[in-house]
Structure 1
Amino acid sequence: MAPIPLLAVRGSNGTSLLSGPPTCEPLSAFQRDSRPSRCVTFSRDGTLFGWCNGHNVSVVKSSDGSIVSTFDLPKTSHLDFSPLNNVLVTWQPYSKPQDSAQGDPNLQLWDLQSAQLIKALYQKKLDSWCPSWSADEKISVRSVNNELHFYESNDFNTIANKLHMQKVSDFLLSPGGPPSKVCVYVPGSKGAPSFVRLYQYPVLGGPTAALANKSFFMADRVSMQWNQKASAVLVTASTEVDKSGASYYGEQTLHYLAVSGETALVQLQKRGPIYDVVWSPGSAEFCVVYGFMPAKATVYNLKCEPLFDFGTGPRNAAYYSPQGHILVLAGFGNLQGQMEVWDVKKYKQVCKPQAPDATHFSWCPDGEHVVTATCSPRLRVSNGYKIWHYTGSVLHKQDTADGAELWEVRWQPFAEGSFPQRVVKYQAAPSELGTTQATPTQVYRPPALRHLPATASTKLHEEELPQNLRPGAEKSLSKAALKNQKKREAKKAAKQEVKSEAEPPPDPAPVSNSQSEPSSGDLETDKKIKNLKKKLKAIEELKDQQASGKVLQKNQLEKLQKEDQLLKELEELQISL
């Protein structure tokens, strides 16, 4: 039988552990701490739970709530466990008493079983505060004065190896076991480009030591992500200011580096900021959410080729389920909380629920449920959380009491393989709270046009529908996607035709009306035909103006409605010729 995940809830009312979905009831084995906590965390395998309540740091077993260790560290604001639960790391804000030249060490490494201090270190900045470990704890690394210090077998009194370059600004150790690799970022200076390099421990020096190298000029900061198999890294490079003035967010580019030495710039299909980049748990694909709103979302393979385009929509985040079989695209923050749930195997949309005012989203390890929450200080009103089934059903809802605040919710993690992948369902799971589907947005239309049918010219944005981009996958496009594709091709062909008509032939031969227009022999009939063609030509011009976005007057719209009648009259006159 599969285990039941726990949900940790931290707020102004204290810290509690709840027995997970579909409903969340307080865990009887855990004594709720009524004092507000500074931080909470689970160990990597979920067997331990730690928190600081402003008096001390406590570590308990998640299964029965029994105490493992307690530490007298009331100012601790961040906690973390080493992968095998041998070391507890605590960090508190750096302070410098008047009678101390250097201040007190604010980063402590503790032996979890004996509660003895292993090493006390100085870490003034919160960035990269916690040492990084390999999965087997054979190697750990931390950044010290622009260089990386490597330790082996949790011996922090001896630096086993160093990586020193002109200025290592950031690093990321690969997940999993040996061989361990590290990705480092060095910002550019004095006209030199910034670069990211991959190294395999312990070969860290020499001109040929790097597994891969990628340099770029436009980068004030980067974010780096390894895939789970530690075979490739995605690097999002960002500038604080877009010199072209096109974006308030600055300018961003996405780069790909593989341990085999291959590097590439990921070619995005729309201009604008990069909101989110996530690897699939299978490590063979990644999803990017990007572009000016409405944003695009595209899945790429390891060759940086687009596989599936989800079209455009109000979204700024992407979340793969732990098993990788479901992808959620969402628009949180200043967007309305719309979520799109997709079956990754079929690239078919499951549902489209909405979680307004949500500031947090995370998958439950079972791959069946998610939690959304409205937390302080991001939003100080309407705090609370909801447990959802991925089909859009709300299974549990908890609102925070008046005057209280919710600060954090966190799922208990589990080892990989603890929950099997299940078949994706499309029918909403039964729930007493029902579902919350996103309501279709209505474009504002002036009062003078509200009695008329909606046209393409009234849309604020050009909508793009999902489409499969795999080679030879045209047949798998939906009817709507095919229709949209045909419209784009027809529009393009029409523009080319207008362009060719606008360009006069090199030597136009004069053609008389008698040669171009067949005569009926009746002047009155010829005159009627000429007038009808003139009116139809004027209607075509109005249709072109309407397609380009111009709002037509009432009398012009009435002319458009007479097109069929005029064509019929013209046909009758021509038949009589």
Structure 2
Amino acid sequence: PKCDPHPAFQTDSVPSRSLSFSRDGALFAWCNSKGSVLVMTLDLPKMVLIEFSPQNNILATWQPYTSKTAQGDANLQLWDLKTGVLLKALFQKKVELWCPSWSEDEAIAVRSVNNELHFYENNDFNTIANKLHMQKVSDYALSPGPQPSKIAVYVPGSKGAPSFVRLYQYPVLGGPTAALANKSFFKADKVDLQWNRKASAVLVVASTDVDKTGASYYGEQTLHFLSVTGETALVQLQKAGPIYDVAWSPSCSEFCVVYGFMPAKATVYNLNCDPVFDFGTGPRNAAYYSPQGHILVLAGFGNLRGQMEVWDVKKYKQVCKPQAPDSTHFSWAPDGEHVVTATCSPRLRVSNGFKVWHYSGAVLHQWDAQEAELWEVRWQDAPYGRYPERPITTQTTPTALGSTQAPPTQAYRPPALRHLPPTASSKLHEDEPPQNMRPGSSDKNLSKNALKNQRKREAKKAAKQEAKESDPAPTSNSQSESEPSAVSQSEPSTGDPETDKKIKNLKKKLKAIDELKEQQASGKVLQKNQVEKLQKEAQLLKELEQLTLG
């Protein structure tokens, strides 16, 4: 992208409140304290939100609700972009769900009104074409993509009844068999509904405001999966703690979840909700797929230090590890080659500015707000599919602004311990590397199917080994049960029964350590006591050597 100011755009010196691009990037609008400016000017000085419809037929604007009259003021306006005529003025008190949701072809629009959903057809907002009659619908999400349109609705639980999410296909919204899928659950004060691009499945992050167990300051979250074919599931996460972010891959065949107490885990799941790849743990709380779906960025923003991990998701290979400290915003350019990170108000009111950089870590442009405040940064949108996927490069192109590559850091050690060699027990956290970077891992270049088949074989092998160990060992008829048979006939005897017994116990412990090594190499996360057993291997070998030689 060119980072110079656009010559055809005259800078607006009046402070702006909001800006928006149309979905195809052809139109741009912003609103300031005097009104709205685009292909037409609207005299709405109190307007704070603005949005285009998918086909650029309607412009929606919203002002804070005031009640100067008994009926209040209609604060949601819908404008005809071709003529500039006000089509409809509606009441919308809450800023949540303020803008109507349109289908991609604008054949359907839906609004939440008094805890029920009103549907409009062909942008005729004077006639309610359909309603979803359900008690207290508090959230919804209309599916992307072509017709037929589908909608996910959330109804919170009350009086001991569970909350639930249901999927419907327009216009069939009533009757006991109308729902395509239904998922009920407890522990939900609010939900986040995310459709994939093909509108074949929905992810539901259910959250409570307070974790009654006291384990988390952020409340308690669970992740649920619903398919339009009727399948539902609770996604089983591999680490306890909050769910920070969930992101669908543009391929629609998998999704990434960032979760667990810090350092957080990140895992990719398929549509069966089975883990496909484990990125291990790290200081992260967000996941961003490129528009083409070939690159995934795992990042730690907000109260973290801005560390990012750029991954090639086809090979599951890490491309680079840049850093953008104090960032409050991250977004991909439509070309899938560039990103922008920014520090914006009111999240942070100092050091406002933004950086444009290549995903390999090279900074291409930097802008600092100096004494001003930066409120929003946004890429010009482009239709999906305009920019093809390009081969991934791991080489950083040098620029005058340098790179965002994070310098290597070492764990803090108290002054009294700095003259001593580092030990595993001095680590604050038990960091877990990605599954293809763990010791003994042999699946670095395997495909997803090969990885899945390998895990099945390893699980089958472990089950056989476990069954074998649980069976009692056959005893020889020639050997009396009263004998202290510490050593089998195949093992050499030292002549001292006590020494033979010690040797047998040491060999038994070493065999258990070998089995733990195999489990670790297959990707299993070991417990703390199992890791401690591995650390004793050298000591046990030394003791065995002394007994056998002595």
Asked if 2 retains the 8 angstrom alpha-carbon contact of 1:108 and 1:117, the reply is yes
1:76 paired with 2:43, answer no
The aligned residue for residue 406 of structure 2 is: 438
* Residue equivalent to 1:185: 154
Amino acid at match of 2:419: H
Distance 1:102 1:458 in 2: 66
TM-score (normalizing by structure 2): 0.83
Tell me the alpha carbon deviations over residues 123-167 of structure 1, each in whole angstroms, 9 at most, x when there is no partner: 000000000000111100000001100000000000000001111
Q: How far did residue 373 of structure 1 move?
A: 0.4
Q: Is the 8 A contact 1:307 1:468 kept in 2?
A: no
Q: What secondary structure sits across from 1:457 in the alignment?
A: helix
Q: Quick check: 1:111 aligned with 2:80?
A: yes
What amino acid sits opposite 1:416 in the alignment? Y
Distance (whole Å) between structure 2 residues aligned to residue 563 and residue 169 of structure 1:
62
From 353, 364, 369, the counterpart of 1:395: 364
Find the partner of 2:127 among 144, 152, 158: 158
Q: What is the CA distance between 1:455 and its match in structure 2? A: 2.0
Instruction: Decide whether aligned partners of structure 1 residues 118 and 447 sit closer, same or farther in structure 2, where only a CA change above 3 A counts.
Output: same
What is the deviation of 1:509?
A: 5.8
Report the alpha carbon displacement of residue 517 of structure 1 after superposing the two structures with TM. Answer: 9.0
Cα distance in structure 1, aligned partners of 2:540 and 2:87: 86
Residue aligning to 2:337: 368
From the superposition, tell whether residues 162 and 565 of structure 1 become closer, same or farther in structure 2 (CA, over 3 Å): closer
Instruction: Measure how far apart 1:422 and its partner are.
Output: 0.3
Distance 1:512 1:197 in 2: 66
Query: Using the alignment, how far apart are the partners of 1:460 and 1:367 within structure 2?
Result: 36
1:476 corresponds to which residue?
443
Q: Give yes or no for contact 1:467–1:478 (8 Å, CA) kept in 2.
A: no
The alignment status of 1:379 with 2:348, answered yes or no, reads yes
Per chain length, whose mean CA-contact separation is higher, i.e. which structure has more relative contact order (CA < 8 Å, sep 6+)? 1
Write out aligned runs for 1:51-200 (5 A): 51-59=30-38, 68-97=39-68, 100-200=69-169
Q: What amino acid sits opposite 2:52 in the alignment?
A: F
CA 1:158 to 1:435, structure 2 compared with 1: closer, same or farther past 3 Å? same
Contact residue 19 and residue 31 of structure 2 kept, 8 A: yes
1:440 Cα offset (Å): 3.5
Query: In structure 2, what is the Cα distance between the partners aligned to 1:346 and 1:28?
Result: 42
Distance 2:430 2:237 in 1: 18
Change (3 A) 1:508 1:80: farther
Distance 2:436 2:548 in 1: 44
**TM-score, normalised on structure 1?**
0.79
The answer (yes or no) to whether the contact 2:436–2:442 under 8 Å persists in 1 is no
Query: In structure 1, how many angstroms separate the alpha carbons of the residues matched to 2:205 and 2:339?
Result: 27
2:4 match: 25
Q: CA deviation at 1:175?
A: 0.6
Contact 1:81 1:87 in 2 (8 A): yes
- What SS is found at the alignment partner of 1:40? strand
Kept in 2, the 8 Å contact 1:232–1:257? The answer is yes
Partner of 1:36: 15
**Number of equivalences:** 496
**CA separation in 2, counterparts of 1:116 and 1:36?**
26
Shift of 1:567: 8.0
Aligned to 1:405: 373
2:122 partner letter: S
C-alpha contact (below 8 Å) 2:315/2:445 kept by paired residues: no
Deviations 1:362-412 (A, max 9, x none): 0011110000001111111111100110001111111112x2111110001
How far apart are the structure 1 equivalents of 2:542 and 2:241?
47
Structure 1 position 216, deviation (Å): 0.4
Q: 2:383 aligns with which of 405, 415, 423?
A: 415
Q: Does 1:271 align with 2:240?
A: yes
Secondary structure of 1:392's counterpart equals coil
State how far apart, in whole Å, the 1-side matches of 2:24 and 2:117 are.
27
- 344 and 166 in structure 1: CA distance in 2 versus 1, 3 angstrom threshold: same
Shift of 1:451: 2.7
- Distance between the aligned counterparts of 2:254 and 2:539, measured in 1? 53
Shift of 1:104: 1.1
1:529-568 mapped onto 2 (5 Å cutoff): none
Give 1:474 shift.
Answer: 6.8
Instruction: Give yes or no for contact 1:146–1:164 (8 Å, CA) kept in 2.
Output: no
**Where in structure 2 are there 5+ consecutive unaligned residues?**
471-479, 487-491, 511-527
The CA deviation string for residues 409-443 of structure 1, in whole angstroms up to 9 with x for no partner, is 00010011211110001111231212122234422
